[in-house]
Structure formats: C-alpha cells, structure tokens
Structure 1
C-alpha cells in the first residue's frame, strides 16, 4: 500500500460495534491516567482569574473541564500555585491523593460515550471521504476529524449540562427534571446546548489538526521503518506528537472555556441566573487586559503533559483494539471457509 495507513472500515475487517468497543477501552484507560494532570491544569488556569482568587473548587476534574465553587467548607489546597509540581504537591498534601481523581465517576459517564461516538464517526467518515476525494484524499482527516467532533460534542452537550447541574447543586433527579423542564419552557430547547460555542471553537480545530498530523505522521513512520502495518510504538508516537501540536495551538480557547465555566459555577453556587454576557473573544480581551497575552496560555505545561500522553494512550489503545478484532475476524473467516466450500 506504499506506506499508507491500512484501509478503513469497509476494508478494515471490523464492524462499527467493534470500533465502539475498542474506543471505549481506550477512553477508560485514558481517563484514569490523565485525570490528575487535568485537575492540576484546571486549578492553574482558574487561579489566573482575579475574580476567583482565594476560592475553593469542587469537582475540579478536567477531562470534561468543569469546575464549581465550593461553598460548603470542604478543605481545598490553599495559597497560590507557582507551577505544575507545586500544585501537585499542595493538592496531595492538603486534600490527599484521591483529590487528583476528583470528579472521575461523572467524567467517565461523559467521556466514554463522547469518545465512542467521536472515534467511530471519524473512522466511518474517513473511509467514505478517502474514496470520494481522489487525489485530495490526504486532506480527508481534516474534514473527518472536524465533522466527527462537531457531532460528538453536539450530542453530548445536553448531558454535560445535566452533569454540571448535578455536581454544582446536588439536586435530586426529580428536582433536576423540573429544573430542565422549566429552562426549556422559558428559553426553548437551545438552552440545553448552552456553552456549545466555546467548546466547538476549541475542539473542532484541535480535532482537524490532530487527525491530519496523526495520519501523516503514522504514514511517514511506516515508510521510514518499512513496516507494512503501523506498530504500537508508531501509533503511540504519532498520537503524542500530533496531540501536542494541536494542544498548543488551541490552548487559548481551552483557557476561555475554563474561565466561563468557573464563572458559571459561582453563579450556580449562589443561585444566580446563569447568564454569561461575555462572548468568547470578549473573555479573551479581558484575560489579556488583566494578565497580559501570556494569560491566554495559562496552564500550558500541564495541558501539554496531559494531552500528549492522553492522545498517545487513546489512539494506540484504539488501534490495538481494532487490530485485535481484525485478527479475530480473519481467523473466524478462515475457520468458516472449509464448511463454505463443502
């Protein structure tokens, strides 16, 4: 195949259900590994906001990037974090090692279905686009990655809103249902997708850059080392490098999303209307005015050390799972050949 990545679903030998199982296992492994790094990244980003200095945060998990202000006196790491390792030390010392996995269960509820939808849609779209784009097939990962991310984020967004309300206000499911019904009656169904804009501004460019660089990097490494199929080390390296590049470019939007959710968390904790007047670029201007241009890159190092291994673990686990199912399906086909011939 001239070093190109192996054919996708139609010729990949695996079903969409098997793709879902492979992405689900990858999402579980990634969530367990990167949650501590994400907690630290979110804390560092949040402290840059002068409106919330001295506040304490509940559920400061970062995989789904939600923070709430803690008003109930729970102990949280005090003082100013001077960097990634200082934040790690103070959080563990003041809150215990378990604090690094704070909010993991609700995160898994969101991250696993989002990842399953995202990776399965990407594979299906990539296969279809490569067949139709002809000479421009190398650009297929950009379009497939962007469309898959828009689809997964749009589907999961209402569930993330529900999870946010459960975390911030400790409502019962009956109270939550009444709250959502009243919000829909007052503002329409669009209220369930509040905050979708900043998420798409960060995630869609990330996905387009990530998949384009990943596919090119994987193909280049396969050609360089003359491997017919991408090995575990090739997919791991390609995922880490492409994830790092995309993370650096989209970091300002990640900072904005964190700031808006910090503000939303405080409004909810004080039972105030959850309306944030600032647009994404309005928040960027405010950050630059208060913290300078470098404020848009708050949490740079922890985001980088989180995204690189997260992307590497996720994509290599996913590719490993697909390779496992591909081999399983081939063996099953070979076993059925004699009976078919007879």
Structure 2
C-alpha cells in the first residue's frame, strides 16, 4: 500500500458511459464468435444423444444458453442431430450442411437478453473496483487487476444465475414471460431461495479464475506493449493484441472447468425437463456434483476428456476477448475525449 490514495486520471468517464462502451462490445463480440462457441459446445456435449427430456446447450461469445427438448419431433424441425463430429472443421461443415448456416447463430436473440446486461455489469464493476482499489484505497501492484477481475465476475455470475435458471424452467414447461413472477415463486416455494442459484458453483469455478487470470495478464501485456511502442495511450491494436493473448492463456488454464460446467448445465436442463414432463411422485435424480462429473470424465476418457473442445474454445476465446476489450477500450477513449472537450469548452 502506498503512502496515500493515488490521484485519479483526468478525463475519467462515468459509469453510464462505461455501460454504453461495454454494451456495444458485447453486441459485436456475440455476433462475431457465436459460431465458434456453438461448435465448441456441440463437440463437448455430443456424447449425449437428443431424446425427450434431454437438452442441448448453445451460446454466443459471452455466455451459455440451455434449450430443453420436451418433444423430439418438435425439436427436430430446427435441430437435427448430426453424425459424430471428428473435429472443429468437420463440425462446421456438418452443422451447416444438415441444419443450415443460420444454426451457427442458434439462440443468439434470447441469449443476448442476459448476455449484454451481464457483460455490462462485469466490465463496469471491474473498472469501478480497480479504480477504487488504486485511487480510493491507495493500493498498488499487479495483483489489483486479478482481485478486481475475480470479484467483478463473481458479482455478474451471481446476478445472472437466477435468471438463467428461471428461463430454463420457463422453456421446459412452456410458460409465457407473463408468468415469470409465478415461476420464481414456485421455484422458491418448492426448493427454497438458494435453488435459484443451482449451477452457480460450476460457473464460478470456471469464470472467476478465468476473469482473474484474464485481467491480470491483460493489464500486464498492455503495459508492456505501450512501453515497447512508446504509446502514451492504449491504441486499438494494443488492446486487441493484449486481449487475444490474455484470453488464450486464461482459456487454456480453465478449460477443464469449462467442460465440467457444460456437463453440469446439461444435467440441470435434463432435470428441469423431467420435472416438466413427468407426473408427480416420480423421483428425479439430482444432478451430479462438480467433483463427481470431473471424476467421471477422467474415468471414461482420461485427461483428454477434460480438454474436450480445446481448439474451438481457444479459437473462440482469443478473438472474443480481443474484440470485446478493444471495442470497450475504444468506447472509453471516445468518451474520455468527449468529456475532455466538453470540460475545455466549459472553461
């Protein structure tokens, strides 16, 4: 800790402007990397065939989205189970051939409903926490981005997790959005308030370490690139490169947790489906714990199973992180210049 709080840099932007910058980045990122994430998830979950009561998980570049199949014939109209994928390129070809090009952007609109707010919360909280620790508390050091990144992701996951679970329940029982409050009350009355955060653990195990590693490496690489090229301010190219490098490192180190999270979410979706299609009195098997899922994967497929979808995840995460952070930094720079110009005009 320094002798006193450091001075906040001039031309700081407001939280609302941070939200606008991160929201724009979220939209562009999801449009760009959705196909890569769809392929990654399909490679990870292809061992489980689609049948009544099953679910499959698809996503954009920002978050996962579960769809529960209550009726195979109804699902098959827009999701046809393809043959076994032998790799990333094979998955791209077969998904496009059997399901159409648009299927590579499956679930984009409903996922954006939560992905954009989650990203806004995440990036805004990170900047606010980082600045508070540096300029409010006076702490200095490379560990500041690591702490701020982990806490920001923890907050975003905790806020969004109940919404994801409720949305899955609504899909499995075909409830209209007008019955959202009734659905929440039913879930709380049946299993208690904590049931709204079911599946929170595996998500935290993957996303919080990823976020901490990502921001730690991003701030480090960005500072080194700025020093190397003697850039007084972070440029689009520097933030793009730093985002890609730090995202790749974090993706590789946290991939096993990503595989476990996919399996866990699929089990939760199947549970919701059975609750919606079975009669009362039929026992429903609880989803396996995170540790049990990891042990089962290791027993069945060895360490390779824990790194399933390695190539598409890395290929997806690197550009996703690069596009998101560079767009976000560009937006912040735009608002900083705008605020500075307004301050000068007010003199």
Q: State TM-score, norm by structure 2.
A: 0.88
Change (3 A) 1:155 1:306: same
Residue matched to 1:318: 328
RMSD: 2.1
Counterpart contact for 1:198–1:257, Cα < 8 Å = yes
Residue matched to 1:61: 59
Distance 2:303 2:57 in 1: 28
Counterpart contact for 1:23–1:119, Cα < 8 Å = yes
CA drift at 1:166: 3.2
CA drift at 1:260: 1.2
Distance 2:240 2:234 in 1: 10
Distance 1:87 1:193 in 2: 32
Aligned partner of 1:331 among 320, 333, 341: 341
Distance 2:90 2:116 in 1: 30
Instruction: State yes or no: 1:190 paired with 2:194.
Output: yes
Residue matched to 2:3: none
Distance 2:187 2:237 in 1: 49
Change (3 A) 1:233 1:208: same
Aligned partner of 1:263 among 243, 263, 267: 267
Which segment is superposed worse, 174-183 or 215-224? 174-183
Q: How does 1:97-116 map to 2 (within 5 A)?
A: 97-116=101-120
Distance 1:40 1:84 in 2: 7
Instruction: State yes or no: 1:302 paired with 2:302.
Output: no
CA drift at 1:269: 2.7
Distance 1:118 1:14 in 2: 16
CA drift at 1:181: 1.2
Which segment is superposed worse, 275-284 or 226-235? 275-284
Counterpart contact for 1:9–1:15, Cα < 8 Å = no
Q: How does 1:153-232 map to 2 (within 5 A)?
A: 153-232=157-236
Distance 2:57 2:199 in 1: 18
SS at match of 1:137: coil
Distance 2:113 2:174 in 1: 17
Change (3 A) 1:327 1:191: same
Distance 2:299 2:309 in 1: 18
CA drift at 1:281: 1.2
Distance 1:95 1:190 in 2: 38
Distance 1:187 1:12 in 2: 49
Counterpart contact for 2:41–2:57, Cα < 8 Å = no
Residue matched to 1:23: 22
Change (3 A) 1:303 1:256: same
SS at match of 1:60: strand
Change (3 A) 1:54 1:108: closer
Aligned partner of 2:82 among 78, 84, 108: 78
CA drift at 1:54: 5.6
Counterpart contact for 1:146–1:204, Cα < 8 Å = yes
Distance 1:236 1:8 in 2: 27
1:295-327 deviation line (CA, Å, top 9, x unaligned): 000010111111000000000000000000011
Q: State TM-score, norm by structure 1.
A: 0.90
Alignment gaps of 5+ in structure 2: 1-5
1:57-87 deviation line (CA, Å, top 9, x unaligned): 6562354223335333214142100011101
Aligned residues: 328
Distance 1:104 1:303 in 2: 18
Distance 1:69 1:192 in 2: 17
CA drift at 1:276: 3.2
Which segment is superposed worse, 203-212 or 123-132? 123-132
Residue matched to 2:40: 41
CA drift at 1:275: 5.7
